[in-house]
Structure 1
Amino acid sequence: MSLASYIGCNVQLQVNDSESEELIYIGACFAGDEELDSVRKYQFSTPFVYEVSSHWGIEITEYINEDTLNESKQKLLELCKIMDKYLQKGDYFELYSCWVGEERDKRVGKVILPIYGFNIDQLVLPEKTLVRFEK
């Protein structure tokens, strides 16, 4: 199984090549159309949904190894920088990570954060948590 991360937003985004070497990019990796449709329907409040690829999803908990934890923190900060370019003041984007095939499952939590200014070292984002980042 693979941990996938998805974003939902109200604007169309540029999708990157699946062979990108970037730390994080917007484009397909693990999920297909069925998973994107499910996460749109069951988790997000936005019309546009994308997989955020990095060859592993974003999860920030005490239960993952330190290297994966630090990489997830870097990915999240980079994602906020990317999305800042697309969003206007008052806009938001949503983030949701889960195991592929579990997009319809009940959420374990919901968090609302500013796109900048949160303390990444105090943040806990387990799988199946919806995070709304507001600009």
Structure 2
Amino acid sequence: MSLASYIGCNIQIPLSDDDDYNDLMYIGDCFSNDYKKRDVKKHQFTTPFVYEVSSHWGIEISKYMDQRTSTKSKKKLIALCEIMDSYLEKGDYFELFSCWIGEEKDKRVGEITLRIDNLNIDLIEMPEKTLVRIEK
């Protein structure tokens, strides 16, 4: 199984070009398909546009993860926030949800709200199936 991360937002954003692919952040399908994105939109998000993000593994920050994976997830979250900061207007937000492929409809384990301009990455606990709302 694979861990996928999805974002939901109120605006359309461009997908990453294959030339832009890197090991840190990519906006476009890796593990998911239209049905999985539809499920996560219906069961998790409040926003109309859904994208899969990350690269070859989702974003999960948990004390139960190994240090290397946790550090990489923190870097991915920072990169995602930098990208989204350029698209969002003041007062807008995007949502982030990570889960194992096939679990897009499952009940959430939690919800948190973060500020894009006050992201203390070392204090964030973001296990799978947590809805994260990131406000600008």
Assess same fold via TM > 0.5. Answer: yes
Q: Contact between 1:18 and 1:28, CA under 8 Å: does it hold in 2?
A: no
Residue 53 of structure 1: CA displacement? 2.6
Segments of 5+ residues of structure 1 without an aligned counterpart are none
**CA RMSD in angstroms, aligned pairs only:** 1.1
> How far, CA to CA, are the matches of 1:44 and 1:61 in structure 2?
22
TM-score for both structures, normalised by structure 2:
0.96
Aligned to 2:28: 27
SS at match of 1:112: strand
* Structure 2 unmatched ranges of 5 or more: none
Provide the secondary structure at the position in 1 that maps to 2:56: coil
Identity across the alignment (%): 61
Matched, 1:8 2:8: yes
The aligned residue for residue 102 of structure 1 is 103
Instruction: Report the Cα distance in structure 2 between the residues aligned to 1:134 and 1:17, rounded to whole angstroms.
Output: 26
Matched residue count: 135
Residues 85-124 of structure 1 aligned to structure 2 (within 5 Å): 85-124=86-125
How many angstroms does 1:22 deviate by? Answer: 4.7
- Matched residues in 1 for 2:18 and 2:66: separation? 26
1:96-134, Cα deviation, whole Å (9 max, x unpaired): 000000000000000011012121111100000000000
Secondary structure at the aligned position of 1:25 is classed as coil
Deviations 1:2-56 (A, max 9, x none): 0000000000010013571251011110001110000000000000000003110
The residue number in structure 2 matching 1:67 is 68
The answer to whether the Cα contact below 8 Å between 1:28 and 1:53 also exists between their aligned partners in 2 is no
Structure 1 runs of 4+ off > 4 angstroms?
A: none
